[in-house]
C-alpha cells in the first residue's frame, strides 16, 4: 500500500504544493495546519512519515517533534523537518530533537520526495528483514547490527546504510550517484557530495578491518562489494 504522509505546514501555498507533488508520486496525504492539529492527527492514526515545518504559529516544529518522539504511539514515525535557514539544521537533526532528515526552504518538490523515499526506505527494514551474509560479514537490517567474524562492529547510521547497499548488490558496481541517492537522498550529486561517499567508504573500510578490502574502488565509476 502507498505510504501515508502527514504534511504539517501553516502556509497553504506550500502545503498544497507538497500535497500535489506527493499525490502525483503515489503517496497518500493528510494535512495539519498547526502543531496541536499535527499531534492529534499523528496520535489518532500514525502516518508512515511526517513532513514538519519548523515555523508554525502556536507550537513550533521542534516542540511538535519532541512531543511526537516522547509519545510511544508516535515515537518511531520518521520526521522530515522543513527549515527556512541552514543554520537551524544542527538543532533540527540534533539527537535530542530526533528529526530523521531536513530540507531547507526554498526546496524543490523533487528533492523533498527523494528525501522522503530515502527516509522511508531506512525506516522500513521490516520489508526486508533477512540477515545479509557476505564472507565474514553479517548485516542485520532489523537490529541495525553488523558483525565481522562474529564480532560486533559499531557503525554510524550512514555507514550502516552504505554497507547494506553494497552487500545487497554484492558483485555489482554501484555508482557514487546511486549511493548518494540511496543513503543520503540526494538526486543530484556534485563534487562535494561525491567526496562524501568516498570519505564514508574509507571509514567503513577501516572499521571492517581485513574484510574492508572486499569493498573495491572502480576509479571514476563507483564501488563494488566482492562476494565469495
Please give the residue ranges that form the binding site for Ca ion (CB under 5 A): 10-11, 53, 55
Q: Can the peptide bond before residue 106 be classed as cis, meaning omega within 30 degrees of 0?
A: yes
To Ca ion, the closest distance from the beta carbon of 61 in angstroms equals 8
Nearer to Ca ion, 10 or 25 (CB): 10
Nearest to 43 by CA among 75, 11, 81, 14: 75
Nearer to Ca ion, 81 or 165 (CB): 81
To Ca ion, the closest distance from the beta carbon of 9 in angstroms equals 5
To Ca ion, the closest distance from the beta carbon of 111 in angstroms equals 18
Q: Is 165 left (phi over 0), alpha (psi -120 to 50) or beta?
A: alpha
Nearer to Ca ion, 53 or 161 (CB): 53
Q: How far apart are the first and last CA of the chain?
A: 36
CA dihedral 37, 97, 93, 123 (to 10 degrees): -70
CA 137/CA 149 separation, integer angstroms: 6
To Ca ion, the closest distance from the beta carbon of 81 in angstroms equals 11
Nearer to Ca ion, 10 or 168 (CB): 10
CA 17/CA 167 separation, integer angstroms: 37
Burial class (CB in 10 A: 0-12, 13-18, 19+), 185: buried
Nearer to Ca ion, 17 or 55 (CB): 55
Nearer to Ca ion, 99 or 183 (CB): 99
To Ca ion, the closest distance from the beta carbon of 44 in angstroms equals 22
CA 108/CA 6 separation, integer angstroms: 18
To Ca ion, the closest distance from the beta carbon of 115 in angstroms equals 18
CA 74/CA 203 separation, integer angstroms: 33
Amino acid at each position: 500500500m502507498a505510504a501515508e504522509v502527514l504534511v504539517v505546514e501553516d502556509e497553504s501555498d506550500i502545503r498544497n504544493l507538497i500535497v500535489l507533488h506527493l499525490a502525483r508520486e503515489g503517496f497518500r496525504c493528510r494535512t495539519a495546519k498547526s502543531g496541536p492539529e499535527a499531534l492529534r492527527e499523528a496520535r489518532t492514526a500514525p502516518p508512515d512519515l511526517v513532513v514538519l515545518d519548523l515555523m508554525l504559529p502556536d507550537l513550533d516544529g521542534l516542540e511538535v517533534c519532541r512531543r511526537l518522539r516522547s509519545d510511544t504511539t508516535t515515537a518511531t514515525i520518521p520526521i522530515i523537518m522543513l527549515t527556512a535557514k541552514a543554520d537551524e539544521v544542527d538543532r533540527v537533526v540534533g539527537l535530542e530533537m530526533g528529526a530523521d532528515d531536513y530540507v531547507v526552504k526554498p526546496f524543490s518538490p523533487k528533492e523533498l520526495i527523494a528525501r522522503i523515499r530515502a527516509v522511508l526506505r531506512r525506516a522500513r527494514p521490516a520489508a526486508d528483514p533477512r540477515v545479509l551474509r557476505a564472507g565474514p560479514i553479517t548485516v542485520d537490517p532489523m537490529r541495525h547490527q553488523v558483525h565481522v567474524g562474529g564480532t560486533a562492529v559499531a557503525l554510524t547510521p550512514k555507514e550502516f546504510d552504505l554497507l547494506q547497499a553494497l552487500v545487497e548488490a554484492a558483485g555489482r558496481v554501484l555508482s557514487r550517484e546511486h549511493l548518494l541517492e540511496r543513503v543520503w537522498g540526494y538526486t543530484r550529486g556534485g563534487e562535494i557530495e561525491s567526496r562524501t561517499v568516498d570519505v564514508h567508504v574509507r571509514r567503513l573500510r577501516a572499521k571492517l578491518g581485513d574484510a574492508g578490502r572486499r569493498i573495491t574502488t572502480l576509479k571514476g565509476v563507483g564501488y563494488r562489494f566482492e562476494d565469495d
